[in-house]
Amino acid sequence: MNARSALALCGIGLVLLLTACGDSNDEATVASAPDRSAQEKRLEDRVRELRHQIEDEQIARENAAARKAEVTGSSGDPAVDAMLARLPGTSGLVVGVPGSGGPAMSGGDLTTGDAWSTIKVPIAERVLEDAGGPNQITTAQASEIHRAITLSDNDAAASLFAGLEDEHGGLQAATGAVNEMLLHAGDRETAVSAMGRDGFSSYGQTDWSLVNQFGYMAALAGGCISDPASRSYLLGQMSRVGGSDLFGLGAIGFPARWKGGWGPGIDGKYLVRQMGVMDLDGKEIVVAMAAIPDDGTFESGQAMLTRIANWIPTHLADDLLSPSGC
């Protein structure tokens, strides 16, 4: 029984008790009316206690809503929330324009999760920075960046990261080097993971919120991070994504540059996510989205993101402004 129900019952009890203590035409009742002052006091104290409990619960709900707003960058756009609520699972969406202006709209209950293969983009960016740009990387590195981004090749990404370990002096140092790419985009919350799970890569287990992932993608698309040549190289690779990543932004019929990531949680259900930028008749929209389908399958997660991506152009494009600048 919740506090409101208990308060209602106590209120009824108090009313009945006070009624029983009142005047009556029944002489026998008047003559034998007991002293119920102690019982009245207990009920009044209980009513007061329940009222305070209800107030505390309301404050807790308001605080929870405020914490969610801090994570997502907004309290949730009603149109976005309504659309996501119709999907068969838990999902989240953050959208805006290139630059450092922050999200324009967001919604959904899924606000963060493992980065999975989306972290391959910052890894590739770090390799390019260490080399001095795309003209300075080796033939092997060029092939690995291409395969890691366009085909989400795990072995290629592992080789790139192993190179960072050699370059920087071990796992922790390589992890920190990739983390610097996120810091350049203004993300001071995400910590690239140095610990794997069930045979999965350590960096893939990075907890990367949608709002921070949006910030990284918006900074990359807006020219706010990396050097021009490396930025163009990365975005060029993201425009040629194929393989298992042809869902969501890869299935909307508009030009797009994106990277997806997916994998099972500890409960076995797949988290499927994408970050990218779509081009709608010259207007660029930056997107970070994720889904965990009710049935837990990769295929259902793909379908959810495709539905979200197809909804964006007709419902949000007109509400977004020009790039915000850096």
Residue 207 pLDDT > 70, yes or no?
Answer: yes
Residue 108 pLDDT > 80, yes or no?
Answer: yes
Backbone dihedral angles phi then psi of residue 6, each to the nearest 5 degrees: -65, -40
Question: pLDDT category, 323, cuts 50, 70, 90?
Answer: confident
Comparing 51 with 178, which gets the higher pLDDT?
A: 178
pLDDT at residue 72, rounded to an integer: 40
From CA 160, how far away is CA 16, in angstroms rounded?
76
3-state SS of 260-315 is EEEEECCCCCEEEEEEEEEEECCEEEEEEEEEEECCCCHHHHHHHHHHHHHHHHHH
Q: Tens digits of per-residue pLDDT, 136-171?
A: 999 999 999 999 999 999 999 999 999 999 999 999
From CA 119, how far away is CA 139, in angstroms rounded?
22
CB 193 within 8 A of CB 174: no
pTM for this model (two decimals): 0.77
Task: Give me the mean pLDDT over the 51-58 stretch.
Answer: 58
Question: pLDDT category, 48, cuts 50, 70, 90?
Answer: low
Distance of CA 76 to the CA centre of its chain: 12
Question: pLDDT category, 21, cuts 50, 70, 90?
Answer: very low
Question: pLDDT category, 40, cuts 50, 70, 90?
Answer: low
| Mean pLDDT for all residues in the chain | 85
Residue 99 pLDDT > 80, yes or no?
Answer: yes
Comparing 159 with 244, which gets the higher pLDDT?
A: 159
